[in-house]
Amino acid sequence: MAITLPSLPYAYDALAPSISARTLEFHHDKHHKAYVDKTNELIAGTKLADSSLEDIIAAAAADRSKTALFNNAAQAWNHDFYWHSMRPQGGGAPKGPIAERLKDSFKSVQAFGDAFKKVAVEQFGSGWAWLVVDKGKLAVMATGNADTPIGHGKTPLVTIDVWEHAYYLDYQNRRADYIARFLEKLVNWEFANENLERAIGRDAAE
């Protein structure tokens, strides 16, 4: 079964003015679609043709000859995770278990925000910044290009795309402003709580 392009979880204009409809349409319908299409092209007729996206990423990460497949499959996965990391009327103070975990791991929500902004701003070139569960604690990390925490044994909770195509139409070269707006107005703490709950459940099962 081919990998399919998932729909955005909201309308193109739902995140405006923080992210414009023009940016979302271009980013989802062109960039994300291109990664999905290329992944399907690369797995066609192979033993990975019926695999899940996560299994494709794992197989490609373990085989140096499959760098192109890893890059496209991981980018397809990262983008879908990014769309869900945002919501209309998002941002602001986190609530629920994620709030307490942030305080426990970073001492305060403000300290988390400062750390997240720092790794996102300082990611050189293209890539991503993530809030992850790492050995039972929350941490922030950046990955370059298509790299993803699921390839490093970490569980992502939310992410921000810092490739220029994610923000340039709206913010030009002002990456720091885009990151600040993500935390203030967009980040989906409900999604983070759902991912945290699953991570805790897996840890308990182990």
Taking the C-alpha atoms of residue 177 and residue 183, their distance in angstroms, rounded to an integer, is 10
For residue 119, is it within any domain?
yes
For residue 5, is it within any domain?
no
pLDDT for 202 equals 65
Backbone conformation region of residue 135, classed left if phi is above 0, alpha if psi is from -120 to 50, else beta: left
Taking the C-alpha atoms of residue 121 and residue 140, their distance in angstroms, rounded to an integer, is 12
pLDDT for 171 equals 98
Residue 74 sits in the same domain as residue 141 = no
For residue 9, is it within any domain?
no
For residue 6, is it within any domain?
no
Q: Write out pLDDT tens, residues 151-181.
A: 888 999 999 999 999 999 999 999 999 999 9
Q: Which domain holds residue 199?
A: 97-205
> Which domain CATH number covers 123?
3.55.40.20
For residue 36, is it within any domain?
yes
Residue 40 sits in the same domain as residue 106 = no
Sheet holding 137-144: strands in order across? 137-144, 127-134, 155-161
Q: What is the pTM of this model?
A: 0.95
Residue 161 sits in the same domain as residue 126 = yes
Residue 62 sits in the same domain as residue 162 = no
Q: Write out pLDDT tens, residues 99-134.
A: 999 999 999 999 999 999 999 999 999 999 999 999
Residue 101 sits in the same domain as residue 144 = yes
Taking the C-alpha atoms of residue 69 and residue 75, their distance in angstroms, rounded to an integer, is 10
Report the DSSP beta bridge partners of residue 161. 128
- 1 confidence band (pLDDT: 50, 70, 90): low
The mean-pLDDT minimum among 25-39, 66-80, 90-104, 191-205 falls in 191-205
The answer to whether residue 20 scores a pLDDT higher than 90 is yes
> Which domain CATH number covers 54?
1.10.287.990
The answer to whether residue 206 scores a pLDDT higher than 60 is no
Residue 80 sits in the same domain as residue 102 = no
Count up the domains in the chain and report the number: 2
The mean pLDDT of the chain is 95
How long, in residues, is the chain? 206
Residues 6+ apart with CB under 8 A from 7: none
Q: Write out pLDDT tens, residues 187-199.
A: 999 999 999 998 8
